[in-house]
A and B are shown apart, each in its own frame.
Chain A
């Protein structure tokens, strides 16, 4: 199975901060990687697919990039609605796997 390792596990930031979350795959996932946002008690919501494609309706402050097997989710200017937990997911090969999550907290 492909292991997806996110860092950090928790991140404290303020409104307006630039935030970066990293996800490292244990082997190549090509570009088949998505990012999700999850708020307490709610289902995840897809933000980005295929590394850097923004899902319809998602604010442009969210962006994704890759460098080899390391993937990055960036929030250019953190907004109050962005405090949540973020997960990466590879869908290159079965079984599809998620990272362990990164919780973005208010500083």
Chain B
């Protein structure tokens, strides 16, 4: 059974760095074809893809947020970590991690999601 769970601070101040952790089970990021992404959703707004990390440590980022994002993995802990620098109130959103159905095989859609974690940026 595949599960993902996001964790991190609920409140950050402007200019601070946000660190979110996705802890997953039911699969391994050591396995070929496994990839995990982060997606966010501001309150009442649409989904926005942020970043992806692959089993072979390839990484991909949103064009508009590339300079602020870093994604990494700790396969021994079954975790994926996203850091976002220089947080701003417009970054207030629910942040989701999700597993990609089939990396390298064209199945680049999200078939398992965490429940999401709401991050508010405010002083």
Please list the residues of chain A having a beta carbon within 8 angstroms of any beta carbon in chain B: 1, 32, 34, 36, 42-46, 49-50, 55, 87, 89, 91, 94-101
Q: Which residues of B contact A (CB under 8 A)?
A: 37, 46-49, 60-64, 96, 98, 101, 106-111, 113-116
Q: How far is the CB of A4 from the nearest CB of chain B, in Å?
A: 9
- Is chain A's interface secondary structure helix, strand, loop, or mixed overall? loop
Residues of A within 8 A of B113 (CB): 43-45
For the complex, give the distance between the alpha carbons of A44 and B113 in Å: 7
Instruction: Name the one of B49, B60, B106 contacting A97, with C-beta atoms under 8 angstroms.
Output: B49
**Cα(A55)–Cα(B75), bound, Å:** 28
List residues of chain B with CB within 8 A of the CB of A87: 46-47
How far apart sit A62 and B63, CA to CA, in the bound complex (Å)?
32
Q: Are A46 and B106 in contact (CB under 8 A)?
A: no
A/B interface sample: 20 pairs, CB < 8 A: A1-B63, A34-B110, A42-B115, A43-B113, A43-B114, A46-B101, A46-B109, A46-B110, A46-B111, A49-B107, A50-B106, A89-B49, A89-B110, A91-B108, A94-B60, A95-B61, A95-B63, A95-B64, A97-B49, A101-B47
Using known A-B contacts A1-B63, A32-B108, A98-B48, determine if residue A49 contacts B101 with beta carbons closer than 8 Å.
yes
Known: A49-B107, A50-B106. A99 touches B63 (CB 8 A): no
Decide if B110 touches A95 in the complex (CB within 8 Å). no
Q: How far is the CB of A36 from chain B (nearest CB, A)?
A: 8
With a CB–CB cut-off of 8 A, which chain A residues contact B96? 43-44
CB distance from B112 to the nearest CB of A (A): 9
A53 to chain B, nearest CB (A): 10
